[in-house]
């Protein structure tokens, strides 16, 4: 457990617990608000609303939390507790900056396979959408929407990884002394934040959250997890909708 938690007055523990509560409220706020989007005022405005909420609900709280607990270095350097967990799992250094090309090939292969399955599904059932989860209300319908799909993919990849793979699990680790518990809690909340996708989407998102966490631990840098998250969202919000007709509609 962090030495600051052993102070006589317990002020650091109280602050950490309070910040965890704020994190839970931010997750709940985002999930509930995302379900109440009004596309009647224009799809561009609705997409912009989602992007702003991602920044306000995840990125901003994450940065504030890191500042309050004195963990700014975690933005560029993996916290010692996470590094120790990677060592205990035997995955430390599995991924290095030089392995980026391998991951790129894997991402491309996944994109081709996933897009092919989505296209076949559309051809057989004329049903657009991701393989898992329900995103019909958010899926791009035309070229302008596809551009917003790119924006949302980039925004979600950065903001959600800052929150769910760094700030939230780090706070839980500081409070409990267990990095594993912190990362598992964050993965569960990450899945819960996507409950608007239905149970299949929650399960798939939870699995992806664990994959992103493993990428983070194995590489020692959050940027690999961010890149993977962006690729996954680009598949769902840009590539697959484009293959099933959105690109052809002006």
Per residue in 167-182, pLDDT (tens digit) is 999 999 988 889 999 9
Least confident of 126-135, 205-214, 239-248: 126-135
> Would you state the pLDDT for residue 62?
92
Residue 21 has pLDDT above 70, yes or no: yes
How many domains does the chain fold into?
1
Question: What DSSP letter does each residue of 165-192 carry, written as one string?
Answer: IIIHHHHHHHHHS-HHHHHHHHHHHHHH
Q: What b/e string do you get for 144-165 counting C-beta neighbours within 10 Å, with b at 16 or more?
A: ebbebbeebbbbbbbbbbbbbb
Range(s) of the domain holding residue 38: 3-248
> Would you state the pLDDT for residue 6?
47
Distance CA 28, CA 31 (A): 5
Of 211, 217, 202, residue with least CA distance to 232: 211
Return the higher-pLDDT residue of 108 and 89. 89
């Amino acid at each position: 457990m962090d030495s600051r938690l052993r102070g006589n007055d317990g002020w650091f523990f109280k602050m950490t617990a309070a910040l965890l509560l704020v994190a839970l409220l931010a997750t709940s706020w985002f999930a509930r608000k995302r379900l109440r989007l009004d596309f009647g005022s224009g799809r561009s405005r609705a997409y912009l609303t989602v992007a702003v909420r991602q920044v306000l609900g995840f990125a901003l709280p994450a940065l504030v939390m890191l500042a309050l607990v004195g963990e700014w270095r975690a933005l560029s350097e993996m916290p010692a507790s996470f590094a120790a967990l990677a060592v205990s799992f035997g995955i430390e250094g599995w991924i290095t900056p030089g392995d980026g090309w391998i991951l790129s090939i894997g991402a491309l292969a996944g994109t081709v396979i996933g897009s092919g399955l989505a296209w076949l599904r559309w051809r057989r059932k004329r049903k657009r959408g991701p393989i898992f989860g329900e995103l019909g209300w958010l899926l791009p319908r035309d070229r302008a929407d596809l551009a917003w799909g790119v924006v949302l993919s980039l925004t979600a990849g950065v903001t959600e990884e800052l929150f769910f793979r760094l700030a939230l699990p780090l706070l839980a680790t500081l409070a409990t002394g267990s990095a594993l518990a912190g990362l598992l809690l964050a993965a569960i909340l990450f899945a819960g934040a996507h409950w608007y996708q239905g149970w299949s989407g929650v399960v798939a998102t939870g699995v992806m959250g664990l994959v992103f966490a493993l990428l983070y631990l194995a590489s020692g840098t959050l940027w690999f997890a961010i890149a993977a998250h962006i690729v996954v969202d680009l598949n769902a919000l840009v590539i697959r909708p484009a293959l099933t007709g959105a690109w052809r509609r002006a």
